[in-house]
Amino acid sequence: MKNIVILISGGGSNMAALVRCAARDQWAKRYGAQVALVVSNKAEARGLDFARAQGIATEVMDHKAFPDRETFDAALGDLIARYDTPEWPALVVLAGFMRILTPAFVERFAGRLTNIHPSLLPAFAGLHTHQRAIDASCKFAGATVHLVTAELDHGPILEQAVVPVLPDDTEATLAARVLTQEHLIYPRAIARLLQRG
């Protein structure tokens, strides 16, 4: 069985969308894949409760308990590596994991580390993407699923969704519209990766 490890920091709505899609579309039967572990760097992350309710293993790894980013990422990588199998390395899915990963971590999981970003990359990498799109008078915004590279919010694009920016949009209303699309494209992108093996 190919294990999927999902990293979160908060509510985990994209993680929940992935878990629901995996169950609905029978990823275990279709792709020999399962969401095996959800990890958060915050003990209070609400997404952990959802994962536990689905019978998925959870771990909390508080980054503040480590002396530096490198030590935290090394320990996180060791935890994830426990879910590698002889046939398949685990797929590592960032779903609202609010940490900038070290180049060593990215290299360790290269080609199997994915992220979703709430903009049409390469536009608006980083934070506050929705307000930046509004401030720039963009007519369209969206979300991007991509493979993670050492450069923040870059890497090969796997899937994108486009939404209009409406004249009366606020950061919150645009974010909500984009999020509904994130919940559709992230599972689709992961399913395609699994299908390709």
- Model pLDDT for residues 11-37, shown as the tens digit of each residue: 999 999 999 999 999 999 999 999 999
Distance in angstroms (rounded) separating the CA atoms of residues 183 and 177 = 11
What is the pLDDT, as a whole number, of residue 197?
A: 75
Of 60, 58, 61, 57, the C-alpha closest to 72 is 61
Neighbours of 85 (CB within 10 A): 11
- Per the omega criterion (within 30 degrees of 0), is the bond before 86 cis? no
Q: Is 183 a catalytic residue?
A: no
Domains in the chain with CATH codes: 2-196 (3.40.50.170)
Which whole-number Å values give the CA distances from 177 to 5, 73, 130, in the listed order?
26, 32, 10
| pTM of structure | 0.96
Amino acid type, 55: G
Helices (H), ranges, the chain: 13-24, 27-31, 47-53, 69-81, 103-108, 129-135, 171-196
Q: What is the pLDDT of residues 90-132, one digit of tens each?
A: 999 999 999 999 999 999 999 999 999 999 999 999 999 999 9
Q: Which of 63, 117, 128, 130 is catalytic?
A: 117
CB-CB contact of 114 with 14 (8 Å) = no
Q: Please state the rounded mean pLDDT for residues 73-85.
A: 97
